[in-house]
Structure 1
């Protein structure tokens, strides 16, 4: 089978494995696991790639050993002047195929001179709260929970290796994909709004121990729904693109417990049921999330 794959792709897989082991020894990643056929499959073609577009929506990708080309649906217009560096092919759990094209584009110099600092508090009731008082919540995913449980039960009753089990697996995978797409769409829209409309110079977010928080049986499901890690990852690269500095606080910084007016620390606010509290020192009435977001903004000073 190896003679049907171009040598550069095989070499690239070894380079990726080498990079993964280096990250592991640097303690930046977990020990690499071997890929299984049933899981998502990806491979990268590092060179000799051509893209031919029939129209705005459809075209062909030409890679070594595929002379007839691979028909693709184009999600966005790609300029002919940009050089294609590599392409990654991916097969998802729903048996869909995607090709991610990396292109070399000229640098666009952005100068950000804004001194405005925006604090972002992450929560369960409201997914994000900004220091300017704005609150945004993830779309309600609870309505998908009932059917999701039913699909999991249906899959567990099917005989392993049977065609009906594979049908049930794909049905479940498509439903999970739908939920993930709703979350990703919301995160991309909100992060774009934050970095483009607020004219900020710095953004401060909490450095949460999300793995530790997921051990809380009562809150783990709701924390998982919020996708905080994904939100921070996407916000980070979009902020970098706009020359906005992203600052992560110290993990033990008690942003919710400190009054943003006088600095008094009220340890009673550790109770998550307390949504509003009055500072015993200065008498200021604080909204838990807005107060935390303001403290995060003050953290950068």
Structure 2
């Protein structure tokens, strides 16, 4: 199993210059060969891949015009080519858009080193250490705020510079995969929403921290930045203030998401977790809801939940995108199409008379979905009466007869 530990590093002035060269050179190589691939395809009508790019890169480094590429670690440049190849493969698999050129300023900059990485901890102060990589033989100071794996083997390290001019090292460790057997038969349903970010099938609700006050500050800082002359010192100060505020919002959301996902997998005692397979890309086309949807960070929540659940032996099931979890009555299975209106937060089933909270009812129906899969049924047909579910009254599911 691979685990990534992200630590903040504190380079010296000379090391910052070396890091800037690595960021710039790897970005140049990525953009150069993206343009190279575009030209070759347009002129010769054939694709190009990593092996061809790597051979051309070797020839470039031997020329006088591009001899400055030898100033940085050669493997960092090769990893940039591998990133470009992966971007093209994701595009051909229709998993991402066409690769774009990387920007030079004011964006997140990275480069990756695949080997010859050493991490040492200070004996007098175990919270600090040094990381040694090629071209940085003097070592870069690093703050170790987390305990390192005992038997972990370092596989690679990614160096990051944020828009707020902070430096980080994301180190990937290969650790022994501890098999966790979860014998629980309980199923937990999770409904994602805007008013309440997370709603559980047991009725618990979690809401994203209120970030409205930061939105007002963002508008004010954007206006202040627009009044400055681009490239001036005052413009850089205003840009840095804005970047720090964006970073603070991201940190608040990530902290909340990590805590919630940890509680869900450690305290729920469930064997399976059923979530919605949301079409987020299509949902944000609604411009009235797009901003609110982005603020909820549903995709990030699902990413954290999946890998943390895997560590605890919990299976995460994504329900069919067209499963009517919000419209279906969790008591009798009646489908009320009037609930498609998002303004309907509570409704009463006209058949069995059960009163439902919209989000809690959806989470309970996700439990129904997981139950149908566990008993060998494929929930592709949505019927008001399901005899297989009616045969298990101890799970709180009943159906209408007659």
If the length of structure 2 is used for normalisation, what is the TM-score? 0.73
**Structure 1 stretch displaced more, 77-86 or 222-231:** 77-86
Deviations 1:253-276 (A, max 9, x none): 221111001111111111222111
| Distance in structure 2 (CA, Å) of the matches to 1:281 and 1:17 | 57
| Distance in structure 2 (CA, Å) of the matches to 1:176 and 1:56 | 31
> Partner of 1:145: helix, strand, or coil?
helix
> Partner of 2:136: helix, strand, or coil?
coil
Do the aligned residues in 1 keep the contact of 2:198 with 2:207 (CA within 8 Å)?
yes
| Distance in structure 2 (CA, Å) of the matches to 1:189 and 1:291 | 25
Do the aligned residues in 2 keep the contact of 1:204 with 1:247 (CA within 8 Å)?
yes
> Partner of 2:329: helix, strand, or coil?
coil
Deviation at 1:81, TM superposition (A): 3.9
Corresponding residue to 2:111 among 43, 47, 51: 43
Corresponding residue to 1:72 among 142, 164, 169: 142
Asked if 1:206 corresponds to 2:273, the answer is no
| Distance in structure 2 (CA, Å) of the matches to 1:152 and 1:134 | 38
- Residues 17-28 of structure 1 aligned to structure 2 (within 5 Å): 17-28=84-95
| Distance in structure 1 (CA, Å) of the matches to 2:305 and 2:155 | 25
- Residues 91-110 of structure 1 aligned to structure 2 (within 5 Å): 91-110=161-180
> Partner of 1:68: helix, strand, or coil?
strand
| Distance in structure 1 (CA, Å) of the matches to 2:148 and 2:240 | 32
Asked if 1:83 corresponds to 2:150, the answer is no
Deviations 1:122-159 (A, max 9, x none): 11111000001111101111122211110111112222
**Structure 1 stretch displaced more, 111-120 or 205-214:** 205-214
Do the aligned residues in 2 keep the contact of 1:35 with 1:41 (CA within 8 Å)?
no
Corresponding residue to 2:320 among 215, 235, 250: 250
Deviation at 1:56, TM superposition (A): 2.3
| Distance in structure 2 (CA, Å) of the matches to 1:101 and 1:248 | 30
> Partner of 1:114: helix, strand, or coil?
coil
Do the aligned residues in 1 keep the contact of 2:149 with 2:175 (CA within 8 Å)?
no
Tell me the equivalent position of 1:59. 129
Do the aligned residues in 1 keep the contact of 2:187 with 2:272 (CA within 8 Å)?
yes
Deviation at 1:52, TM superposition (A): 1.1
| Distance in structure 1 (CA, Å) of the matches to 2:281 and 2:322 | 15
Deviation at 1:41, TM superposition (A): 0.7
- Residues 1-301 of structure 1 aligned to structure 2 (within 5 Å): 1-38=68-105, 39-54=107-122, 55-79=125-149, 81-300=151-370, 301=372
Q: CA RMSD in A?
A: 1.3
Note closer, same or farther for the CA distance 1:80–1:136 as it changes in structure 2 (3 Å cut).
Answer: closer
| Distance in structure 1 (CA, Å) of the matches to 2:323 and 2:154 | 44
Deviation at 1:4, TM superposition (A): 2.0
| Distance in structure 2 (CA, Å) of the matches to 1:169 and 1:208 | 34
| Distance in structure 1 (CA, Å) of the matches to 2:150 and 2:287 | 52
Deviations 1:86-106 (A, max 9, x none): 100011111111000111211
| Distance in structure 1 (CA, Å) of the matches to 2:328 and 2:74 | 59
Deviation at 1:170, TM superposition (A): 0.9
**Structure 1 stretch displaced more, 282-291 or 103-112:** 103-112
| Distance in structure 1 (CA, Å) of the matches to 2:153 and 2:244 | 34
More helix by share: 2
> Partner of 1:299: helix, strand, or coil?
helix
Do the aligned residues in 2 keep the contact of 1:261 with 1:284 (CA within 8 Å)?
yes
Which ranges of 4 or more aligned residues in structure 1 deviate by more than 3 Å? none
* Structure with larger Rg: 2
Deviations 1:166-216 (A, max 9, x none): 111110010011011111000000000001111111111111121222222
| Distance in structure 2 (CA, Å) of the matches to 1:176 and 1:63 | 31
